[in-house]
Structure 1
């Protein structure tokens, strides 16, 4: 289980392009007297004492979109279970109700605290799609295009097609899927609008290596100018709202033998 995160200072590079704002976080702490140095492509180990299987409940905290061979499926499942331990429960400041969210700093700290050769973190990015009145299908298309561009998920048409279909199916069936562990509803800051945070795990093979794959632990925050949860019910691909989105993601190289 992830502990509380330490304070970290990050160098942030911001670049804008059209209506998509990209924020690149270089996860290299600024030097302090009591701060250890980390690098995003450093090898990260999993402690031998953690080689136990998490519950099915933990595994469902991320929807998996994968094109992996059967030999890598077990390691992909272990990766999702491990990330699922950093979903936190807190009280919504507006509704005073309990809500879940994925704690990115805590997730980063989990890997910083461990060592091994099964897992390497390669990148972390956050990028946004500015608010505009468009239909849901177009918004989903922009989300998928952003992931493909920012993480260079090139040459995996089956995965990107499935990713687009999966995301749209989720947001057009929110009434049925709202209780799923991978979806979290919350009011927007100031109470003007609301959003859903959706945890998605993308897993693709590495052509040059039969024994490892690229894993993308991601969250999609889809926000609209509607205030109540049930205002999201009944959306279709052609439903038009003032949508915006924030996507976060960590890219890993995972070895076949990785165990949570």
Structure 2
């Protein structure tokens, strides 16, 4: 494990283990300021529950609303029209704060993607990954230019454009970290970032260092935990020091906290644990 990773993995900083193994920060001294995640900004990416969304989308959305989730990140419409999916969200008592589209879909018909987003009522339109063919300095420079173009269109439509990272975006090519090209070659008025905390920690980078270098560029977090062996883990049961990251809320620009787990064994249990952790965590 690298020294940089150790700096932001959980250490013995007053965490308390409660029933079921969930870790939450220990009680602070009376004069120590405490902050919490706003309950109406706790969401979940529907990719986490994709298997049960396929068979019972309305039941799943209603279950998430019943757990206390205020928002969801949309990951496809599961065969429904945008209008029907919006109806299901409303019935379930959750609102779509963002939608994941794709590089190809945005290139093919950006206006159509924005129309879908408008029907869903989202604030953020997110491209979640880039094709492997772009994994060069020239490719990411091209992607930054496209993001700028799409960001201007999103702003004109009353929405905001974001890019979601994976670990491959932190590859160093010709001496440059590819992700940094996207941040540095885009205008924050039009392009910002949904920071997946697992996928920045996994390759050994520190989210806080990015907040310091690029302040207020990260309005959405994918809050995803990491097991000691580096695999995915339910939120609060892993090793990432979320209070340290969340404490930089002013510097990061964070607004939405979106739970995600790529391969949950029990999607609804994972969802419940995620909501409970974010509702309790103090920083």
> Is TM > 0.5 for Structure 1 vs Structure 2?
no
Q: TM-score when scaled to structure 1? A: 0.24
Q: Which has the higher helix share?
A: 2
**Which structure features the higher share of strand residues?**
1
Q: TM-score, normalised by structure 2?
A: 0.22
